[in-house]
Structure 1
């Protein structure tokens, strides 16, 4: 019989694993201790504190979620190299805090593949930086807009066809609506009854929510390098709340600007938590929208067509809708994708996002 590992044994094994993986990369630092960084939900990420700076971030990519781990790491390694070249006129310190710096292995690779199959990458830790989970200051929204808009602007001339699709059809409305319709057919009568109002709402907006996808498919909207996970916590700020660096580039792949714009707006402009059940508290914050849009367009306007500019607000509405649809689909599928804390957690999340869509729609005439 297998013996159950004690917590202390597990910690000791993890420590040795981290030390060994860290030793495979090109650096002149001595491992002192580690701290788990739990902000992400997919990969295992650790702050490696050394005897003397710099410190590092060591990451093990989750190959249960990402099929091509090596391709994913190459994506973000190559994009960081491109950004550094575009920003080469910055000072060394400015460049260090503006772009993720990935460290190669002693064999000259951007990742280390362990014998157990796990795949690791290492990057420099950006000192004196902070992140936000929510926004309560329009200046933070403005700085976030400049960061994500700047990222898209600087990568505009990178050939997106050289990137792999790390999650195919990630923001594809055709795919997400097809998943939703299949879930309805397979769901229990009880769950269908509880979610009927949300189901009806989804079908009411179906045609409008496919507009941007249709424009993409027709080639009227440009496919370019996009981040694809532009939540506010994926932006680093200085302690004085100035934007520093876009992080968590695991989902960098070909996409369209509207979904990057929309996902940031979705997370920045909701005045309530994503799973708030009191829907009276769920309101779209127009002040934060305008602040983010201002910063975003300051950086990216010159690379957008008039048609792309016209549909940015609909991009925001579409991303709120698509997240609500994904939560609703998971609820109908008996909660197989998102982690839940109680039986109707996903349904409450869907109601929350759909209420945000309604609030946004009422204020669209102000945009």
Structure 2
């Protein structure tokens, strides 16, 4: 890292020490130690976020609103540089931003208990609730069509026609399964045309690692707001279901290990409704089960599309990695669908 990045915040390189942290696939993150102070430094991945200034703009708007309307909320806002900027650009290095480290906090990479699932869902619900008076349409789009299922489905069908012929043959059975579930796309179209489904401030990346916990296991706040954009609540709730319900991740090769845990579903629902029960319309509450189907189906489409296109987006760690990921998500989708009569709110 260029020393000028640290100097932009008034830090002398000899005064600080850096520790690489996190398992994120998008941004690079370091813990910065300066005497008795600790910070978190992130480098933004410009291949994913083509306009980093839009991220800074969104965070500034939300930070100002929360400071005025809900000053008690622990919003982790970027630290201003010596020039007063919330994001620092260094030619040849990229875009960086610095955050204060929340004392006594920790994050988790996997959901181990129903209490953790409940706390995470409550924190994401609380964040959306506190911003219910904020006009989400003010936010800039940091990743175009990120959770647009129609767009992802069109990409998938195009890849079936123009992708690698060898890979198309290899994944024919999986592709047929996803094509047979196109009613999930039709339901999304209905939601987009239904005024009962509000456009809200949506996090769009609700994995457990984006929640800070205190020493007792209680949630403190949500973090990593690069994908903060206007959206539907099904994106946040659905991604929690996709990543919390199964004890194994999307990297699991043995599909026998992919199961859906009923008690974790109930924990997510209870935690989210603890904050959002008075905010959601009846129509939105009726889409709770669908939200998990929506996000899991979309992720299966994205993994298989990328595989057919010779791994342009998700970098593989071994041959066929994205095919394994797609198969994993298809199995999870099937397991979820089997639970439709069990899951209700």
Work out the CA distance in 2 between the residues paired with 1:115 and 1:166: 21
User: Compared with structure 1, are the counterparts of its residues 63 and 341 closer, same or farther at alpha carbon in structure 2 (3 Å cutoff)?
Assistant: closer
CA-CA distance at 1:22 after TM superposition = 2.9
Any conservation in 2 of the 1:29–1:51 contact (CA below 8 Å)? no
Any conservation in 2 of the 1:135–1:268 contact (CA below 8 Å)? yes
Structure 1: any 5+ residue segments left out of the alignment? 1-13
Question: Which residue does the alignment assign to 1:279?
Answer: 255
Alignment: residue pair count = 343
Structure 2: any 5+ residue segments left out of the alignment? none
RMSD of aligned C-alpha atoms? 2.0
Written as runs of structure 1 = structure 2, the 5 A alignment for 1:287-366 is 287-366=263-342
Any conservation in 2 of the 1:145–1:292 contact (CA below 8 Å)? yes
Question: Which residue does the alignment assign to 2:185?
Answer: 209
Determine helix, strand or coil for the equivalent of 2:168: helix
Work out the CA distance in 2 between the residues paired with 1:45 and 1:104: 18
Written as runs of structure 1 = structure 2, the 5 A alignment for 1:146-295 is 146-295=122-271
Question: Which residue does the alignment assign to 1:32?
Answer: 16
Question: Which residue does the alignment assign to 2:52?
Answer: 69
Work out the CA distance in 1 between the residues paired with 2:313 and 2:280: 35
Work out the CA distance in 1 between the residues paired with 2:168 and 2:67: 51
For 1:84, which of 46, 64, 67 is the aligned residue? 67
Question: Which residue does the alignment assign to 1:139?
Answer: 115
Work out the CA distance in 2 between the residues paired with 1:213 and 1:246: 29
CA-CA distance at 1:113 after TM superposition = 2.8
Larger radius of gyration: 1
More helix by share: 1
Any conservation in 1 of the 2:2–2:93 contact (CA below 8 Å)? no
Comparing 78-87 and 258-267, the one that deviates more: 78-87
CA-CA distance at 1:311 after TM superposition = 0.7
Question: Which residue does the alignment assign to 2:84?
Answer: 108
Work out the CA distance in 2 between the residues paired with 1:281 and 1:306: 35
Work out the CA distance in 2 between the residues paired with 1:30 and 1:161: 44
Q: Spell out, residue by residue over 1:207-248, the C-alpha distance to the aligned partner (whole angstroms, 9 max, x if none).
A: 233312332144441111100111111111112211011010
Work out the CA distance in 2 between the residues paired with 1:59 and 1:281: 34
Work out the CA distance in 2 between the residues paired with 1:82 and 1:41: 30
